[in-house]
Amino acid sequence: MSDIAGLLDKPEFPRSSRYDPVWMLQNQMGPNALWLAEWLTEAVPLQAGRRVLDLGCGRAMTSIFMDREFGARGWEVDWWIAPDSNRRRVLEAGVADSVFPLRAEAHALPLSAGFFDVIVSWTPTGGRMLELYDRGRVAGLAAAESHGRGCSGRRADRRIAP
Ligand SMILES: C[S@@+](CC[C@H](N)C(=O)[O-])C[C@H]1O[C@@H](n2cnc3c(N)ncnc32)[C@H](O)[C@@H]1O
């Protein structure tokens, strides 16, 4: 295990390095979502209390990361992953009062686009999902579109709307 922990401990991702490597591996759905989250959030105006929509959140790691690292309140939305399992992860992470798991299809969300301060996505189709939202009504709109093993600028596209 210590070899794996060493592989996951990257100087370019100091925040991610503080997370349990077993938890990180158990909840991956492809590329390392924590590395992608750390990389994308460098460019997103996340501040304490901001309302963040995490589209296609998968197993909730990115919403947990945004809450712990920035104090952001997260509505995490996914179509495949049952909200009960995400709720369990959120409870275990101690952020259940500020991270809210929902099962929904991105095009059918019941919340107004104007409700959110920041909308982010870490999925191969993230950029397209962001096109659902009016850029004038959110402070930050960003997606990391990972391809295969994407975890850095050379292996993923970072799309930031002004
Ligand atoms: C490759 S996984 C990535 C999950 C997570 N963002 C991560 O980085 O670990 C893609 C996720 O996007 C979700 N997804 C794709 N299209 C979606 C849509 N239109 N609405 C809601 N979720 C969607 C899927 O359910 C899936 O869990």
**Alpha-carbon gap, residue 153 to 159, rounded angstroms:** 11
Residue 32 located in a structural domain:
yes
Question: What residue spans of the chain are helical by DSSP H?
Answer: 2-8, 21-26, 33-41, 61-70, 83-92, 126-130
Residue 96 located in a structural domain:
yes
Atom of ligand 1 nearest to the CA of 33: 8
Total structural domains within the chain: 1
Residue 45 located in a structural domain:
yes
Residue 56 located in a structural domain:
yes
Prediction pTM value? 0.90
pLDDT, tens digit, 9 for 90 and up, residues 88-121: 999 999 999 999 999 999 888 887 768 888 888 8
Triad 89, 90, 92: Cα angle to 5°: 65
User: Distance from the CA of 153 to the center of ligand 1, in angstroms?
Assistant: 20
Is the CB of residue 71 below 6 angstroms from any atom belonging to ligand 1? no
Structural domain including 117 reads 28-161
CATH of the domain at 58: 3.40.50.150
**Alpha-carbon gap, residue 9 to 156, rounded angstroms:** 20
pLDDT, tens digit, 9 for 90 and up, residues 16-71: 999 999 999 999 988 889 998 998 888 888 889 999 999 999 999 999 999 999 99
Is the CB of residue 26 below 6 angstroms from any atom belonging to ligand 1? no
Residue 2 located in a structural domain:
no
